């Protein structure tokens, strides 16, 4: 939703004629905005904030207050604010909503994104009830548009906003359920939006320990890519990885193997990197060591088999962390990896990991 409303800001700003500012101000604005874009691309949050603020202030001179380009710049500025500026962020999003209503009316599609951004900021700032009317307003606009895809996406955005807070978990579930109902009835199975929602539903089911329901959803995602789409996508990789976790939690290690291998086909083994486990079981802190306040680390080398299992575990620092070695080995035996492929064939590969045992202070 955020991208659809403000994703073309650069084109709008750089191609629009200046009607309110001198040529020098226009040039300064262009330079600042380009620097802001670079900060976004390089993920430099400090520069991003400072440049977004400066671009917003200059933009008011270039385009005038209350204009769409200025609202886009205001949204960029609000989004870039650090966590300790939630009060200012809420106020700016509220200003964007009010001005958008003045420009387009209270039932306009242009209001959907500002309303959701305001609701998100309110939830993050701990405002208990203020967010509700803004989410419902956005949903009403989507309903009145008779655009079921938009209605689904707005409900989905509402769910994602509220899932960030345990306090609103039940309400988030309701929005996710409504999204799912619309998708199943009205969207094609190969819609990327529907596939993304399927993965969220699977995560919800897994969180409730309904592993069979989660597996059904995730398998559907994989099948859609296999049967309907002729390209690889991060959703497919993610679905395979979550299926590994779901099957392992069910105790069906062989079923998980299929997905370990599928991931290996999609994501080649890198000998220069520490391999990331698809499923890991945290070691139990030895009771004796905990009572004595002891901490330590265990370095292990092991073989990842062609099926993604862990075998041939060897302790690399046997003189250190002796109290934690058995717990480390026991946990590591439960881990699963994507195997290494050479010339299209799965082969054994060596990997290493360090497990740290630290007491909470």
Taking only the tens place, the pLDDT of each residue in 295-339 is 999 999 999 999 999 999 999 998 887 899 999 999 999 999 999
Whether 289 maps to a domain, the answer reads: yes
Do residues 115 and 97 touch, judged by C-beta distance below 8 A?
A: yes
Rounded Cα gap, residues 335 and 332, in angstroms: 5
What SS3 state is found at 279?
Answer: strand
Q: Which two tokens stand for residue 9?
A: 């800001």
The reported pLDDT for the residue numbered 20 is 52
- E strands within the chain? 296-304, 310-315, 340-342, 345-347, 349-357
Whether 100 maps to a domain, the answer reads: no
Whether 38 maps to a domain, the answer reads: yes
Domain count, the chain: 2
Whether 339 maps to a domain, the answer reads: yes
> 5 pLDDT exceeds 70?
no
Do residues 158 and 139 touch, judged by C-beta distance below 8 A?
A: yes
Q: Which two tokens stand for residue 270?
A: 């890198």
Q: Which of 97-111, 181-195, 221-235, 323-337 has the lowest mean pLDDT?
A: 221-235
Rounded Cα gap, residues 257 and 309, in angstroms: 8
> 361 pLDDT exceeds 80?
no
Rounded Cα gap, residues 142 and 239, in angstroms: 29
Q: Which two tokens stand for residue 253?
A: 């290690």
Whether 19 maps to a domain, the answer reads: yes
pTM for the structure as a whole: 0.83
Contacts 24+ apart (CB under 8 A), 182-188: 182/148, 182/151, 182/152, 182/155, 183/152, 186/148, 186/149, 186/152, 187/148, 187/149, 187/152
The CA angle 310-312-316, to the nearest 5 degrees, is 105
Burial label, 237 (beta-carbon count in 10 A; 0-12, 13-18, 19+): middle
Mean pLDDT on 138-145: 96
Whether 2 maps to a domain, the answer reads: yes
Do residues 224 and 240 touch, judged by C-beta distance below 8 A?
A: no
3-state per-residue secondary structure call for 179-205: HHHHHHHHCCCCCHHHHHHHHHHHHHH
Compute φ and ψ for 251, nearest 5 degrees: 85, 10
pLDDT in tens, 276-290: 999 999 999 999 999
Domain of residue 302 covers 282-357
Task: Return the CATH number at 297.
Answer: 3.30.2420.10
End-of-domain residue from the set 80, 111, 146: 80
pLDDT in tens, 90-119: 999 999 999 999 999 999 999 999 999 999
Whether 114 maps to a domain, the answer reads: no
Rounded Cα gap, residues 190 and 177, in angstroms: 19
End-of-domain residue from the set 36, 56, 80: 80
Rounded Cα gap, residues 111 and 132, in angstroms: 15
End-of-domain residue from the set 43, 63, 80: 80
What SS3 state is found at 324?
Answer: helix
Do residues 275 and 269 touch, judged by C-beta distance below 8 A?
A: yes
β-pairing, 340-342 vs 296-304, is unpaired
Select the more confidently predicted residue: 90 or 271.
90
pLDDT band, residue 19 (cuts 50/70/90): low
What SS3 state is found at 345?
Answer: strand
Longest Cα pair distance anywhere in the chain, in angstroms? 75
Q: Which residues contact 314 (CB under 8 A, 6 or more apart)?
A: 300, 301, 302
Whether 93 maps to a domain, the answer reads: no
């Amino acid at each position: 939703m955020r991208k659809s409303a403000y994703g073309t800001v650069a084109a709008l700003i750089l191609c629009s004629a200046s009607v309110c500012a001198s040529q020098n101000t226009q040039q300064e604005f262009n330079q600042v905005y380009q620097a802001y874009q670079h900060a976004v691309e390089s993920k430099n949050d400090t520069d991003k904030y400072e440049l977004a603020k400066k671009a917003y202030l200059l933009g008011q001179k270039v385009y005038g207050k209350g204009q769409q380009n200025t609202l886009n710049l205001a949204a960029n500025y609000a989004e870039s604010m650090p966590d300790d500026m939630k009060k200012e962020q809420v106020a700016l999003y509220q200003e964007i909503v009010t001005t958008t209503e003045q420009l387009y009316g209270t039932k306009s599609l242009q209001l959907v994104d500002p309303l959701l951004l305001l609701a998100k900021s309110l939830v993050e700032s701990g405002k208990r009830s203020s967010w509700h009317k803004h989410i419902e307003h956005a949903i009403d606009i989507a309903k009145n548009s008779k655009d079921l895809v938009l209605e689904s996406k707005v409900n989905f955005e509402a769910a994602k906003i509220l899932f960030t807070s345990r306090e609103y978990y039940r309400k988030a579930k309701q929005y996710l359920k409504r999204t799912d109902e619309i998708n199943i009835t009205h969207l094609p199975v190969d819609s990327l939006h529907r596939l993304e929602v399927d993965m969220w539903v699977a995560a919800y089911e897994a969180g409730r320990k309904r592993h069979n329901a989660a597996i059904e959803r995730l398998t559907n995602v994989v099948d859609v890519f296999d049967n309907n789409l002729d390209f690889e996508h991060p959703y497919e990789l993610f679905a395979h990885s979550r299926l590994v976790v779901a099957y392992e939690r069910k105790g069906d290690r062989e079923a998980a193997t299929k997905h370990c291998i599928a991931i290996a086909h999609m994501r080649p083994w890198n000998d220069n990197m520490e391999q990331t486990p698809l499923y890991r079981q945290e070691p139990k802190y030895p009771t004796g060591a905990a009572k004595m306040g002891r901490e330590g680390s265990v370095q292990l080398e092991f073989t990842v088999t062609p099926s993604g299992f862990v075998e041939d575990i060897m302790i690399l620092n046997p003189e250190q962390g002796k109290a934690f070695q058995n717990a480390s080995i026991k946990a590591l035996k439960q881990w699963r990896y994507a195997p290494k492929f050479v010339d299209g064939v799965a082969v054994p590969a060596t990997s290493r990991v360090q497990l740290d045992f630290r007491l909470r202070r």
